[in-house]
Each structure stands twice: as C-alpha cells, then as structure tokens.
Structure 1
C-alpha cells in the first residue's frame, strides 16, 4: 500500500513553538527601549532639540567624548602594559600580580570616587596634612582637583582597565614565539619587536577590551554626577527629574543611544576582522625574560600601582570611613536596604539567566536568520546605558498606565494608578535588558562544550527539545549558569542610573543609599553601603581570578 507523501512545507512539531514565542518576546522587550526612545525623541519636536543644541548639548557631547578618550588611553596603557609584564617577563611577585590585577573589577567607579574625594579633597587627609606641615593657607598652593573630568576619568580607568588586561593577557598567552624571535634575529630590539609584532597580533583583543571600557564609561552615572561632570548620562537624569522635560530626556537618550550603538558596531566589526594568526606550523611558547635589579623593581612598581590605587587603598579608606561613621549596618533601615538590593538582584539574575537559556537554546536548536536576529538584539543591551533603558521603558509603560487609568476613571470611576510603571517588575525588565548579554556570554561559553551529537542522541532516544534541555544541557551547564547568575547578581547590585529613575517609591537599595549620602556630602556614611557592594562584587571576581590562575 503506498505511503502518503510528507508535505515538505509542513514543519514537524518539535516542542519549540513555545521557545520560539518566548525568544521573540525577550527580543521584543530588549528592542522596546530603543524604539521607544527614538519615537519619543522624534515626537518631541524640533524646538526641544534646537534648545538643547543651543544650550547643553555641545557641553554634554564634549564632556562625554573627552571622558571616553581619556579612559580609552588610560585603560590601554594600564591594561596592555600590565598584561605584557606578567605574561612575557618574570619578576618577584609576578604570580600574585597575575591575579591581583583583576581585583579592581569588583569596585564600582562611584565607590572609588567617594573614597578618593574623602582623601584628596580640600578638607581631606592629604591636603590637611600638607597645610599642617608647610603652614600654607588655602590659596598658597595648587593641588589637582579630584572633582573634575580628569578625576572622573582616573576613577573609571582604575576600575575598567581589567577588561583590557584580561583580553590582552589571553592574546599574549596564545601567541607563538616564532614571529617574535624572528624579528629579534633580524636585528629588532625587544621594544621594536613588541610594537611591530606582539602588539599588532593582539590588536583585535585589545581593541575589544578598550571598546568595552568606553561603553561602560558613557553609561556611568554615579561618578560623573558626584564629580559634577555634565555628560549625557547626567543630562538625562536632570531632564527627567529636575526639569520634568520628558522630550528633552528622550532626545538626550537618543543621542547617547546612537553613540553606544556605534561603539557596539565597532566592537562587533573589530571581532569580525580579527584575522591575525600565526602561520607557522610549530607553536612555540615564549620564554619569559627574567628581570633583575632595577628592572625587576620597576616591574613590581608598575604592576603594583593599579592594584594599590584600584583596590587596596580604597578598601583601607572605606574601612576607616565606615568605622568613624554613624551608620549601623545591622539597623532595621539598613537591613531593609540590603533586603531590597538582594531581592532585586536575585530576581533579576533569575529572570535574566532564564531569558539567556531561552535565547541561547533556541538559537542552537533552530539555527537560522530569525534565531540569530533575536540573539543579536538580545545582546544589544550591553551597549545601552541604564539611563537610556530606563527612559525607553518608562515612556511606553507610563503611557499605558495613564491610558488605562483614564479609561477606568471614565468607565467605572475607579483609579488604577501606576500598575506597571511603579512596580518592581519594570525595574527587573530594565536589568534584564541591560545585563542579558553578560548572561548569554556565560551560557554560550558553557553550551559550546556540549557536542551536537549529544542532542541527536537524546532526540533519537525519544527526548523532546525541552527534555533534551532539562536532562542533558542544564546538568552539564550548571557551572556556567552559576557564573551567569553571579555576574548578573553583582551587576544589579552595583547598577545606579536605572535604579534611581525606575525604583518604586521608598524602595531604596544599597547603591541608591550610597549615592544619596555622598550627594549630601556624608562620605563617611556612604562608605558603609559601598563596602557591602564591594564585598558582594568580589564573588565573580574570585571566579575570574581562579580562571586566570588556571590559564598558564
């Protein structure tokens, strides 16, 4: 009896329809803030943007661009220099510095800003000691102003250079010694071989690290706001709250979004052009140069400076400030801040990692243009500053809440209030959009270790797609998922601009409390929540340090 022919246009039911719908939903949520900002900015009229261009826009653009340039130069110098020293040379303490150079990554830049302002400002320890020793008055000497654009750049460089250091170190470790030794054999000095051979080979990785640091710079709010540097990030907050100018905030957010997406495209193009490779068939490891005497001492100093000023000194200062403050970490008020922070961070981490699993598994199971586009959109959040995401979500959901409330009032004489805009869930969505790329990076790194034949074996044994994910992938990916949870958890604990704009009324976190106390010039009090944030931030950094220790 002839068998009926299968319809080639009909797809088999594979249990992934729900995955497809949820993946598109996640991608839509990630795309919503960018679309909402663009629509709100374009509907604001030309009068608003003309006024901004005549008043604050040039100042915001100039400060943001200058800050980005300073941070890119600083992170390049510190990150590449430290990576080269610990990879290609040997000196006392090199094993310690390999790991310790990652520690500043646990510090938010605004926490360093509070610590160094307490030490270097006019009433601080350094200038007070200088006046006591010399007998000078306030106008008798010049001292660098910490609350300045240069000061903000220094704080950001100290906490962001590990991005460049980690990527450059990995690139240097993967290089073969053959090309470097060939350059030396042809008469090039060690410095010439470094600049002409090793540095160009590592250029894609270094450029990616610098661009990541620059994207974090333009997204920063706490540091620049505290130092009084007027950038796009502070302008958005000022327009939204202080001036109640929603159209102005949206147009400033669109400017910052355009800059951030341009940097994201640069970073992606940079990775796409990463075609440098060693054509030699023999992979020969570079023998590190043994340093002694003055050169060894100089290497210790150069590697010790970022660790000292980026981690050790801030902790000492914050501990000293916290001990002398009147803040009681175990009071009901502070326990409430901790509970709010942990609740937000844990909820956001779970939601974000679940979204990463959805997008990543659907892309693996149904490779194609639709799944790849959804994954690309989901990754865009890392390039979008928190203030832009906040404005982009507040505008449409505030419109929805106000429309629903007006309809309920006119129809049933009932006020629904702010159902979505004033809730914790909208803030959780903002965190998911902002940090989904980080969770997907950790998830996909683990997923790459699962061979595709395991999927085929599970399906041949009768497992559905969801069963394959639950019984095969998730048990294998448990360490990667834990890493993703920790990374998102800590990022949410440190996040400030979106939390300030979107948090429910009277729902403050440790980051908000630290910012509020510092804004009131109560730096000793701000040290207490800052120390808790740093202590929690050390968790993923310890994981990174363990990975660094295994790489050699």
Structure 2
C-alpha cells in the first residue's frame, strides 16, 4: 500500500476517533444542516448592506417609527393578556376543583389549532361595524355613530392584541400547567399554615416557581406574533412583518425589505435573550424521593362556577366561536359546492409540500440527533444548537434570506447544464415549489430535532454500551437500537411538522411560484378580496388538521402526572 493511501487511512481513522467513532458522513451532514440554517441569515445581512444609505434614511423616517410602535404595542399587549390568561387558567385548573375542571383542562389548549390569521378573518366578520355584534348593539343601545362606542374597533392594534392573545395563550398555559403539576405540596402547605390566602399563594409562590415556564411560553407566543402577517395586515396593524411584505412586493425594494427584516431579527434575538435571562438562576430541584404533588382544593359553589366561567371564556373565544363560525359558513355555502376540482388541487398541493418538508425534516433530524449523540464534541453540539434557531426566525425574514442562496444554486446548476448540453436550464429552486419546501425544513427542523432529542434522551446509554461490547458499529447502533426506540418520537415529530407546514403563511406567500396555492394562501387570498366565506372550507380543514397535534400534546401532558402518581402510590 502506498504512503499516500496509508496517510489517508490514518487521517480518516484519526477523525473517527475524534468524533467517538461516529460516521464521518453523518458529522458532515450535521455541519451542513447548520450551514443551511445560517445561509439565509448571512444572505439577509448581505442584501441589507447593499441598500443605499438614502434608502435606510427614508425607512427610518417613513416606515420604522410606525412599524416599531405597532410591533412594540402588539408584543407588549400579547405578553400581558396572553400571559395573564395562560397562567391564570393553568393555576385554576391545577390547584382547584370546580365544575367542568377536568374537561376544561383538555379544552384550554385547543385554540392552538386555529391559526391567528383565520381567527382575525372570523373576528372581523363577527365584530366589525357590519357584523352581527355591532349591529345588535346599535339596535339595542340606540347608538348611531362610532363616537357612541366605548370599546375599540376590531381593526386596530387593540383588536389584534385580543385576537392573537385568544389564540396564543395556550403556549403559556401548557408550560405553566406542566410546572404547577410538578410543584411540591410542602411549600403550598407551609404557606397555608402561615395564613396565606389563595391569591397570595398564587402571587408569592406559584408565579415565582413558574417563572421559567412562563418565560418559555411567552417567548413562543411572542415569536408567533412576530411571524404573523395575515392577522396584522387584515386588522390594519403596521407591524415590522407587514412592513417587510409591503416594502418588498408593493414598493419593489428588496434591500429595504432586508433592512427592516434585520431589525426584526434583532428583536427576535432580544426576545430569546430575555427568555434565557428569565430562566437563568431559576431552577428548582425537588428531593431525591418522589415528591408529594399539590392536591387541588375544592372551591365553594359560587367560586367554582366563577372559575369554570373564567376558564371557559378563552376556550369559547379562541376555539369554539371560530370553529363554529367556519362550520356554519361551510354548511350555508354547501360542502359539496366548495369541494370543486380547484379546491382539491390546492389541497393536494398543500399535502404534497407539507409531506416533502416533513420527510426531509425527519431525515435530517435523525441524522443530526443520532450523530450528535454518538459524537459528543463541541463542534457537533454547536451545530445542533445552530440548527435549532430556524424556528425563531420569522417566515418573512427567512424568505428574503433564502433568495440569494437559492438563486446562487440555480445559477450553478445552470452553468453545469449549459456546459454539458449547451442549453439553458432556467430556474430550478426559485422557479418551483422547492424554495417553499426548503423554507419549511429550515423553519420547522427544530421541532423534529427537539422531539427526537427528547425521545433519545429516554434511551438508556447502557443499551448502546451493550451494543458496542457486542461489536456493533455506529451505523448498526443507529439502525437497530436508536431508530426502533425513536418510533413514538418520530410519529409525534412528523405530526407536528406536517401541521405547522400546512398552517405556515408568511414564507409561503413570499416564495410560492405563480399559480401555486396552498390552503393557507387560498384563505388569505379570499380574505384579501373581501370574500372570506369563500375560503371557509379551506380554513376549516386547516383547523381540523391542527387539532391532531394539540390533542396528542394534551394527552401526553395529562398522562405524565397520572403515571407519576401511580408510580408514587406503588412505591
């Protein structure tokens, strides 16, 4: 064997040892995925830097002040209202017994199935000046002009806060309830012994203990509010996302849109930093013995019905009212009449794009998670962390950042094709739905990696050690041990990614080719033309499909404390 071959073999062996025996191709994929996620962000900064100084000055004067004001008001309002609803409902159903408590604990997360833009379209139909609510109030109260009203219009920043809070509060509710379910009863009992009232228990003990969960839930809700474009635009709120959309498509300035997107990215980074700071030094460790969890306190009859009404109200406003409206519109319009060939085409397009993105995200997620598990090095840990930032990037920011990389790949493929055949190839990624699939994969890959990482953490390292002792190679460990044990996590990740792809609007609007419609863009188009009822069937399909992961999420969240109580009783 030549010295060059020996040198290559020695180098490959040294690299495998450096990555703890993990296949080098898997490590390369992990690094490649991290580069794929970072590419749009680097491209965004490059596009923004190419804008003229006069353009940036014009944006500072004409666009950014109003956009920052509306965005700041929206985020602050959603944080206050959604946070109050989420943590208040979580405390009521966890620490108290009242009529309908068990059912409401299941119903409270359901508004997550309804996208914010669909709720906004429905609320305008119901609460706008021509809607049944205001018409009824005018007839009942004798109002004749807007000056007679004491409440704000639904088409305002306050209406947008209300709409988004009604949909996004479950992020806070789920995180807070999970924290409340694991709280030790001893702290609550000590506080009661010292004479603390129920409200003081909630304010002094429950909220500080739930602060890490509250920070996580609020950050997710605010990131979703930042990503929204349909609700904000329809309700007349000039957020940064709407400003990016208008600057790019209506004003024809890609550089200006990129500069506004950089401001959005800075706010996202700030939100993440605030969330991390909210969880810093706020970790609470229970005793090594299985703790005795808090037992719900039965409320009096009047207080119990009041608590039931308070918990039922957000369920009604966030899920029952929008879903009931859609069902009524579909029934009035005739289900079979709306199920035409065009609708079926859009449905198949939506399913196809979402399925391709889901399969790609799962495949990359498996490689990233298993390679990071085998090769526990700083490089793979960093790459795994970088691959998880895609979900925090708003769809509009991601779409603008993808333009340059996608065009560069198309140009490269075109040059190779021209050199081989002498013919022009044209656009492959930007001229097809491939750009949408890539955006979906980057944005929702963290959902897949998060679910798979959580599933793999439950796999005992002893199983892998036993496999290594028996001579199993890294590929065999992955195929015969890790993946079979990851099947439940794979199913959960596939469901979550698929449904989020179906609901995604911002990136789809900006990257879709001509004459390509998904269910989300179909609903958006009908609402933009003032005929939302024509898109009721598409909206209802999105909501019904979105129910699946929410129900699965609630089932797993409710089953875990029951299993822990059973184990505690058996012990």
The question of whether the paired residues in 2 share the 8 Å contact of 1:104 and 1:311 is answered with yes
Indicate the residue corresponding to 1:116 in structure 2.
123
Equivalent of residue 192 in structure 1, options 200, 215, 219: 200
Deviation at 1:360, TM superposition (A): 0.9
Report the Cα offset of residue 139 of structure 1.
5.0
Equivalents in 2 of 1:33, 1:430: separation in Å?
Answer: 10
Task: Please name the residue that 1:349 is paired with.
Answer: 358
Distance 1:417 1:138, change over 3 A: farther
Does structure 2 conserve the Cα–Cα contact (< 8 Å) formed by 1:178 and 1:280? no
Change (3 A) 1:549 1:276: closer
Aligned to 1:457: 466
| Cα gap change, 1:369 to 1:15, in 2 (>3 Å) | closer
Q: Which residue of 1 aligns with 2:543?
A: 534
Partner of 1:150: 158
Match of 1:319 among 327, 333, 340: 327
Aligned residues: 547
Q: Distance in 1 between matches of 2:163 and 2:543?
A: 15
Q: Structure 1 residues 326, 145: CA separation in 2 closer, same or farther (over 3 Å shift)?
A: farther
Q: Distance in 2 between matches of 1:272 and 1:144?
A: 38
Q: Verify: 1:167 aligned to 2:175, yes or no.
A: yes
SS at 1:10 equivalent: helix
Shift of residue 424 of structure 1?
Answer: 1.8
| Match status 1:49 vs 2:49 | no
Residues 307 and 548 (structure 1), Cα distance of their counterparts in 2 relative to 1, 3 Å cut = same
Q: What is aligned with 2:383? A: 374
> Residues 111 and 167 of structure 2 are in contact (CA less than 8 Å); yes or no, is this contact kept in structure 1?
yes
For structure 1, the 5+ residue unaligned runs are: 1-5
Deviation of 1:136 (Å): 4.5
Q: Please point out which of 27, 31, 42 is paired with 1:35.
A: 42
Question: Cα distance, 1:186 vs. partner?
Answer: 2.4
Deviation at 1:388, TM superposition (A): 0.5
Distance, in Å, in 2 between the alignment partners of 1:399 and 1:478 is 37
Which SS does the other structure have where 2:389 is aligned?
helix
The answer on whether the counterparts of 1:324 and 1:524 sit within 8 Å (CA) in structure 2 is no
Aligned pair partner of 1:482 in 491, 511, 536:
491
**1:62 Cα offset (Å):** 1.2
Residue 517 and residue 287 in structure 1: after superposition, are their counterparts in 2 closer, same or farther (change >3 A)? same
CA distance in 2, matches of 1:393, 1:458: 42
CA contact (8 A) 1:427 1:502 kept: yes
Separation of aligned partners in 1, 2:463 and 2:289: 32
Q: Distance in 1 between matches of 2:347 and 2:390?
A: 26
Contact 2:414/2:426 (<8 A) preserved: yes
Mapped contact 1:240–1:249 kept (Cα < 8 A): yes
TM-score w.r.t. structure 1 length?
0.94
CA spacing shift, 1:227–1:402, aligned 2, 3 Å: farther
For residue 267 of structure 2, the aligned residue among 243, 259, 264 is 259
Partner of 1:391: 400
Aligned to 1:299: 307
The CA deviation at 1:399 is 4.8
Q: Counterpart of 1:77 in 2: which secondary structure?
A: helix
- The aligned residue for residue 274 of structure 1 is 282
Assess, with a 3 A threshold, how the Cα gap between structure 1 residues 309 and 362 changes in structure 2: closer, same or farther. same
Aligned 8 A contact 1:422 1:502 in 2: no
8 Å CA contact 2:40–2:402 kept in 1: the answer is yes
Separation in structure 2 between the aligned mates of residue 422 and residue 7 of structure 1, nearest angstrom: 45
SS in 2 for 1:521: coil
Cα contact 2:115–2:503 (8 A) shared by 1 = yes
> Shift of the alpha carbon at 1:482?
0.5
Q: Offset at 1:154?
A: 1.1
Q: What residue in structure 1 maps to residue 69 of structure 2?
A: 62
- Give how far 1:10 is off: 2.3
How far apart are 1:468 and its partner, in Å? 1.4
Distance 1:509 1:280 in 2: 51
Question: Does 38-47 or 238-247 show the bigger shift?
Answer: 38-47
Q: Which runs of 5 or more residues in structure 2 are unaligned?
A: 1-8, 563-571
Assess if the C-alpha contact under 8 Å between 1:225 and 1:234 holds in 2: yes
What is the rounded CA distance, in whole Å, between the counterparts of 1:17 and 1:506 in structure 2?
42
Task: State the partner residue of 2:343.
Answer: 334
* Pick aligned residue for 1:443 from 431, 440, 452: 452
Is the contact between residue 16 and residue 24 of structure 2 (CA under 8 Å) also seen in structure 1? no
Q: Does 1:23 align with 2:30?
A: yes
Distance apart, 1:272 and its partner CA? 4.5
How far apart are the structure 1 equivalents of 2:132 and 2:278?
45
Shift of 1:303: 0.5
The verdict on how the C-alpha distance between 1:282 and 1:178 changes in structure 2, with shifts beyond 3 A counting, is farther
Q: CA deviation at 1:322?
A: 2.3
1:81 to 75, 80, 88: 88
Would the alpha carbon gap of residues 243 and 401 (structure 1) be closer, same or farther in structure 2, given more than 3 Å must change? farther
**Cα distance between partner residues in 2 of 1:410 and 1:18:** 29
